[in-house]
Copies of this chain bind each other. A is one copy, B any other.
Amino acid sequence: MSIDILQERIRTMKNPTVVGLDPTPDVVPAYLLEEARQRLGQGPEAVASAYETFCLAILDSLRDQVAGVKVQSACFAVLGGPGISAMQRVLAHARELGYYTILDSMRGDMPETAEVYASGVFGSVEAAGPGFAPYACDAVTLNGYLGGDSIRPFLPYCRSGKSVFVLVKTSNRSSVEVQDLLSGGRLVHTAMADLVSRWGADLYGKYGYSQVAAVVGATYPETIRSLRAKYDRMFFLVPGYGAQGGSAKNVQYAFDRFGHGAAICASRSILGAWKSGDSDGRDFAQRAAEAAEKMKKSLGKYCVIM
């Protein structure tokens, strides 16, 4: 089961970190863009190639260090077809290296569309050739605002080794506007967590966590704490560590009483680590590895995964 693989990978690496691959012109060093432009011209192909080179080097650098990667589809999608093709190769390389691989698209579709999308990301698009699977990944992020029939098309794949991470409480400031609305004795995000729990009720892996997991932002420690108190068998993906303001102290509550059950996600603080100081970015992969090591140490103070 996919969530077991994540759990095992966290144990092997002794590190619950998931690195967010969100390439933008801000974190990808200028020299990579220049080199790609010299080869491929001024168009989107060059930017896509630079993003790919950057992500592959990050993957190679952190391969023995972190549990997984989360690939932000929007960053690649804004480059059109060449961007998506580059993302496909980044995902494939991540899986080859043994990373637990999350495709972060935060979609929440109508049931018919969810069916199409689920087969594309988790199954295969047979019309495009036997076994054609464009997005090699272990899990996707989903938005549950549409309710159960938008999630259910993914569940057969969860039964055979994939996972979904449903947005429960996101790390951004405005998440309070909808997610913290009071509804009866619950908040909307608690109601969402109840649904997540129900959708994954018969999909537990061997370590006791459901394949239907939750996204809970690092910036709301009290929310993490109360969700963990209520759901001891729900796996939490916790984004927002680092640049967004979440600290190791904040995210400690995501782990269960055995120190398990959560993966902590950081992106810019690792990808853009080379930007602190006077680097021109040529050491980005090394600096990313150092930042990941520092994050691991910080997390180690609060979670026991050794």
A184 and B47 alpha carbons, distance in the complex (Å): 49
A68-112 vs B, Cβ < 8 Å mask (1 yes, 0 no): 000010110111111111101000000000000000011111111
A143 and B111 alpha carbons, distance in the complex (Å): 15
Q: Which B residue sits closest to A151, measured CB to CB?
A: B174
Are B182 and A188 within 8 A (Cβ)?
no
A43 and B143 alpha carbons, distance in the complex (Å): 30
A82: B residues at CB distance < 8 A: 81, 85
Chain A interface size, under 10 / 10 to 19 / 20 to 34 / 35 or more? 35 or more
Measured between C-beta atoms, what is the minimum distance from A117 to chain B in Å? 4
How many copies the complex holds: the figure is: 2
Does A201 reach chain B (CB closer than 8 Å)? no
A5: B residues at CB distance < 8 A: none
Query: In A95-137, which residues have CB < 8 Å from any B CB?
Result: 105-113, 116-117, 119-121, 125, 127-130, 132, 134-135
A148: B residues at CB distance < 8 A: 174, 177
Are B150 and A174 within 8 A (Cβ)?
yes
Does A291 reach chain B (CB closer than 8 Å)? no
Measured between C-beta atoms, what is the minimum distance from A132 to chain B in Å? 6
A184 and B116 alpha carbons, distance in the complex (Å): 37
Are A195 and B177 within 8 A (Cβ)?
yes
Does A167 reach chain B (CB closer than 8 Å)? yes
Q: A80-B85, A84-B80 are in contact. Are A74 and B113 (CB under 8 A)?
A: yes
Are A145 and B147 within 8 A (Cβ)?
no
Majority secondary structure, A binding face: helix
Are A125 and B22 within 8 A (Cβ)?
no
A9 and B128 alpha carbons, distance in the complex (Å): 36
A81: B residues at CB distance < 8 A: 81-86, 88
Does A229 reach chain B (CB closer than 8 Å)? no
Q: Which B residue sits closest to A176, measured CB to CB?
A: B147
Q: A33-B127, A178-B144 are in contact. Are A117 and B78 (CB under 8 A)?
A: yes
A130: B residues at CB distance < 8 A: 42
- Max chain B Cβ within 10 angstroms of own Cβ: one of A128, A170, A191: A128
Are A127 and B47 within 8 A (Cβ)?
yes
Query: In A163-213, which residues have CB < 8 Å from any B CB?
Result: 167, 170-179, 181-184, 188, 191-192, 195
Q: Which B residue sits closest to A121, measured CB to CB?
A: B78
- Max chain B Cβ within 10 angstroms of own Cβ: one of A86, A145, A192, A239: A145
Are A47 and B125 within 8 A (Cβ)?
yes
Q: A146-B172, A149-B172, A191-B181 are in contact. Are A80 and B24 (CB under 8 A)?
A: no
A80: B residues at CB distance < 8 A: 84-85, 88, 134-135
Are B128 and A47 within 8 A (Cβ)?
yes
Are B191 and A125 within 8 A (Cβ)?
no
10 contacts between A and B (CB under 8 A): A25-B127, A77-B120, A80-B84, A80-B88, A105-B107, A110-B170, A110-B171, A181-B188, A181-B191, A188-B188
